[in-house]
Amino acid sequence: MFGLKKDWSLDLPKKYYTMDDYNGGEARWCPGCGDFAVLTAVQRVCREEQLAPEKTVCVSGIGCSSRFPHYMKTYGFHGLHGRALPVACGVKSRRPDLNVFVATGDGDCCSIGAGHWVHALRYNMDMTVMLFDNNIYGLTKKQTSPTSPQGLATNTHPDGAWLPPLNVLAATLGFSNISYMAQTVDWNPTHLYETLKSAQQHRGLSFVRILQRCPAFVPTMFEAAMQDPDKILLLEHEKGIPLDAGVAKVYKNRQAHDPSDLIGARTIADNTEQIPIGLLYHNPSALVYDDFTTQGMGMSTSDKIEALNRELDRFAIQ
Ligand code: SF4
């Protein structure tokens, strides 16, 4: 009677989600755009972790990478410019059971959305935030972004960007109560995948900066680092991103870095001569705002009214 119970009902296997279950259709980015690699990596993470598509939400702002939710067969919210993070915080505060991914670009997050960037990281709600950093505004056709290198000729600065770029890693490490920050590159799919998987597994806001190629407008932006892997500094530690043998073979320039060492992380971030990849900072004990916003969520309507009246009575003037 193998597989059959006494009542003749069958034990059906639990559904196994495949890549197809997360594939939202043909992605319309330019050929060679790094966004494709990130999309595939996220779909692989979802499959690996068997995240139910109906329990997963992708939220974005505005920009090329913000088309991300359209290409995932999950719930999605394509928001306003710079507003991906507050929308994602809103989703998480009412539906803490959902897996939330945020796709935001350097223009979206580090310019118009910078205020939200600071506070969402401080609130540390449980979500995976991917900063697609291609150092340019791609959707609006090559304008200077906060991370454009000084001297880069763009449509807004034809003679070259005047200011040095924002140091995203150093800035993020200055925010209060951050719990996870990593950096990776779109052209190494294994490191990209391992980083996003580690980020998704973290409870709290995991902030991952992804150096992302935009061949349409800045085709040579990361060429030096791609041609010469020694320009990349691979961070390694037993508490860091799992080190794949293939990745270790490519990147010989390595440094042991304990991700709980904030001062060490800041020192690495301040050195703009090299490109660190790996987990710069991890503090699993940072306060998670979900723990506060979910209080009372199971209350019945009458309990809520009673609690509200009790609070209002405190201010009654006798
Ligand atoms: Fe990608 Fe650049 Fe094309 Fe945008 S403009 S889709 S970032 S290659």
Q: Please give the distance, rounded to the nearest whole angstrom, from the Cα atom of residue 70 to the centre of ligand 1.
A: 16
Q: Please give the distance, rounded to the nearest whole angstrom, from the Cα atom of residue 152 to the centre of ligand 1.
A: 17
Sort 278 into a burial class: Cβ within 10 Å, 0-12 / 13-18 / 19+.
buried
Take residue 140 and report the two structure tokens written for it: 């609006």
Query: Which residue, by CA, sits nearest to atom 3 of ligand 1?
Result: 30
Phi, psi torsion values for 256, nearest 5 degrees: -75, 130
Atom of ligand 1 nearest to the CA of 63: 4
Atom of ligand 1 nearest to the CA of 34: 1
Look at residue 312 and give its three-state secondary structure: helix
Q: What is the pLDDT of residue 318?
A: 79
Query: Which residue, by CA, sits nearest to atom 2 of ligand 1?
Result: 214
C-alpha–C-alpha distance, residues 129 and 86, integer Å: 12
Phi, psi torsion values for 86, nearest 5 degrees: -65, -35
Q: Ligand 1: does its nearest atom lie under 6 Å from the Cβ of 138?
A: yes
Top CATH class of 19-313 equals alpha beta
Q: Ligand 1: does its nearest atom lie under 6 Å from the Cβ of 30?
A: yes
Q: What phi-psi label fits residue 218: left (phi over 0), alpha (psi between -120 and 50 degrees) or beta?
A: beta
∠ Cα 224 226 228 (to 5°): 65
Beta bridge partners, 105, equal 132
Take residue 142 and report the two structure tokens written for it: 């090559």
| pLDDT, tens only, 236-267 | 999 999 999 999 999 999 999 999 999 999 99
Q: Could you say which DSSP state residue 234 is in?
A: E
Query: Where do the H-state alpha helices sit in 166-221?
Result: 168-172, 189-201
Phi, psi torsion values for 177, nearest 5 degrees: 60, 25
Of the candidates 26, 40, 25, which has an alpha carbon nearest to the alpha carbon of residue 192? Answer: 40
Segments making up each domain of the chain, as ranges: 19-313
| pLDDT, tens only, 48-74 | 999 999 999 999 999 999 999 999 999
Q: Please give the distance, rounded to the nearest whole angstrom, from the Cα atom of residue 30 to the centre of ligand 1.
A: 5
Q: Please give the distance, rounded to the nearest whole angstrom, from the Cα atom of residue 148 to the centre of ligand 1.
A: 15
| DSSP H or E run through 185 | strand 180-185
Q: Could you say which DSSP state residue 166 is in?
A: P
C-alpha–C-alpha distance, residues 243 and 256, integer Å: 12
Ligand 1 pocket, mutate which of 70, 134, 154, 210 (most atoms under 8 A from CB): 134
Dihedral Cα 301, 306, 312, 318, nearest 10 deg: 150
* Strand pairing report for 180-185 and 232-236: unpaired
Query: Which residue, by CA, sits nearest to atom 7 of ligand 1?
Result: 214
Q: pLDDT-derived band of residue 296, with 50, 70 and 90 as boundaries?
A: confident
Q: Ligand 1: does its nearest atom lie under 6 Å from the Cβ of 186?
A: no
Q: What is the pLDDT of residue 246?
A: 96
Q: Please give the distance, rounded to the nearest whole angstrom, from the Cα atom of residue 111 to the centre of ligand 1.
A: 18
Q: What is the pLDDT of residue 1?
A: 46
| DSSP H or E run through 90 | helix 84-94
CB atoms within 10 A of CB 179: 21
Q: Ligand 1: does its nearest atom lie under 6 Å from the Cβ of 64?
A: yes
Q: What is the pLDDT of residue 10?
A: 73
CA atoms within 13 A on the CB side of 311: 5
Q: Which residues contact 173 (CB under 8 A, 6 or more apart)?
A: 181, 262, 265, 266, 269, 280, 281
Q: What is the pLDDT of residue 130?
A: 98
Look at residue 129 and give its three-state secondary structure: strand
pLDDT above 80: residue 6: no
Q: What is the pLDDT of residue 2?
A: 52
Query: Which residue, by CA, sits nearest to atom 5 of ligand 1?
Result: 138
| pLDDT, tens only, 185-238 | 999 999 999 999 999 999 999 999 999 999 999 999 999 999 999 999 999 999
CB atoms within 10 A of CB 158: 7
Q: Ligand 1: does its nearest atom lie under 6 Å from the Cβ of 114?
A: no
Query: Which residue, by CA, sits nearest to atom 1 of ligand 1?
Result: 33
Tell me what percent of the residues of the chain surpass a pLDDT of 90: 92
Query: Which residue, by CA, sits nearest to atom 6 of ligand 1?
Result: 29
pTM of the model: 0.93
Q: pLDDT-derived band of residue 112, with 50, 70 and 90 as boundaries?
A: very high
